[in-house]
Structure 1
Amino acid sequence: MVNGQKTWCVAKPSSDQAALLANINYACSQIDCRILQKGYPCFYPDNLMNHASISMNLYYQAKGRNRWNCDFRNSALIVTTDPSYSKCVYSYL
């Protein structure tokens, strides 16, 4: 935790599509990404940036919120503002 603040892991806006896809595949091979499937609240918007951020955050939270769990080859950022939207809640364990 950064100075007692809640933190989330999201994709860097500058990340390329290949990195985002690799991050989704890696994170979802380690943790349950069902929340991203069609019919679940985080499916929309259906784009790589959104899905990568959600899967990377799930991984980061599940692995203990260490900064090294939110590196993804330098394509991620740790943020202190909750990125949840609409009915899609970014988990905070």
Structure 2
Amino acid sequence: MGKKNLCVPKDGVGDAKLQPNLDWACGQDVECGPIQPDVVCIEPAAVRSRATFAMNSYYRRKGGIDSACDFSSTAQTTTKDPSYGKCKYV
């Protein structure tokens, strides 16, 4: 069984570009509950971490098609799972 692709921000993309991605993805009926305050994926509370979760949730909801992981050229697919602790991305 091959590794699953995940959608993550490109290296060097700052919070000013990731915050709109986070807001947009969470407005598209994807699972953003785990990145809300006081839940499992809030730490670290960095925009990058939260945006990664939201962007990947959108990508997965769209069936993992390449065009669902663009976010104005700020994202890329990877097989490296960014999950940590109880916060699971796949």
Aligned length in residues: 88
CA shift, 1:82, in A, is 1.4
CA shift, 1:12, in A, is 1.4
CA distance in 2, matches of 1:10, 1:42: 15
Q: Which ranges in structure 1 are unaligned for 5 or more consecutive residues?
A: none
CA shift, 1:86, in A, is 0.9
**8 Å Cα contact 1:70/1:77 also seen in 2:** yes
Percent identity (aligned):
39
TM-score by length of 2: 0.91
After the TM superposition, which segments of 4 or more aligned residues of structure 1 sit over 2 Å from their partners? none
Match of 1:29 in 2: 27
TM-score by length of 1: 0.88
CA shift, 1:83, in A, is 1.3
CA distance in 2, matches of 1:7, 1:77: 10
Match of 2:66 in 1: 67
CA distance in 1, matches of 2:39, 2:62: 23
Q: Which ranges in structure 2 are unaligned for 5 or more consecutive residues?
A: none
Match of 1:7 in 2: 5
CA shift, 1:14, in A, is 1.1
CA shift, 1:32, in A, is 2.8
